[in-house]
Structure 1
Amino acid sequence: MNKQALIAHCLTYHNAVEDYPFADDDSTIMRHSGNRKWFALIFHLHGKLCINLKCDPVRSEFLRRTYAGVYPAWHMNKEHWNTVEVNKVPKGELFAMIVHSFELTAPKIPKAKKK
């Protein structure tokens, strides 16, 4: 998978937008339009396509033990974020990790609307 295909996949999620807040054109931020929270950072690290994704700490440890291409996030909170080498994990697992990150960072529904 290449970077453009990965961005295109992330844009299929409801109200997802891409952003380029850094001078470095290689770093693409995928965020929710509602709360502006990041759910992914797509970039190249040492020539490899990577994506940083938020993850529950327990699940994070499991993924790091299971896949050589998943490790504590580069340049982000190591407990709650993973760096994933995109082409070192099965596509289905990668997409599941993206969904998980998207859901963890999604805007919260106000209590008044839940009723």
Structure 2
Amino acid sequence: MNIEQLRNYCLSKKGTTEDFPFDEDTLVFKVLGKMFVLAGLSKWERGEASINLKADPEYSQELRAEYESIRPGFHMSKKHWNTIYMHEGELSPEFIYKLIDHSYDMVLKGMSKKVRNSLLD
């Protein structure tokens, strides 16, 4: 997976926007204004691709126990965020997409029903 594939996948999700709220290096994808994917572009350029994704706390623990390339979120809440080190080659693109879907769903789940329903409009 390259950065354009990641970008295209994230932007294909309903209500998603991209932004650089922290600096010019950290690409952030948001659903209805809330972050669900963060990617440091300079790491991708160096061949050290990684992304931060939100996850259910119990699922986070399971993932970290099963995969060496999934670790507590770098510069994020360790309880709710994981860093996925994609350059290590352990995870298939399909599985990474599944993790992105989970992150997107977790962010939506935390929103009010009224806000979630705005995606249907």
Separation (CA, whole Å) in 2 of partners of 1:65 and 1:81:
15
Match of 2:106, SS state, is: helix
User: Given the alignment, which residue of 84, 91, 94 partners 1:92?
Assistant: 94
After TM superposition, give the deviation of residue 68 of structure 1 in Å: 1.3
Q: Which runs of 5+ in 2 are unaligned?
A: none
Q: Which amino acid is 2:34 matched to?
A: K
* Matches for 1:52-63 after TM superposition, within 5 Å: 52-63=52-63
Match of 1:39 in 2: 36
TM-score w.r.t. length of structure 2: 0.81
TM-score w.r.t. length of structure 1: 0.85
Q: Which runs of 5+ in 1 are unaligned?
A: none
User: Given the alignment, which residue of 97, 102, 109 partners 2:104?
Assistant: 102
Structural RMSD (CA): 2.0
**Displaced runs of 4+ in structure 1, greater than 4 A?**
none
Separation (CA, whole Å) in 2 of partners of 1:80 and 1:64:
12
Aligned-residue sequence identity (percent) comes to: 32
Match of 1:18 in 2: 18
* Matches for 1:58-73 after TM superposition, within 5 Å: 58-73=58-73
Separation (CA, whole Å) in 2 of partners of 1:16 and 1:86:
22
Separation (CA, whole Å) in 1 of partners of 2:16 and 2:94:
20
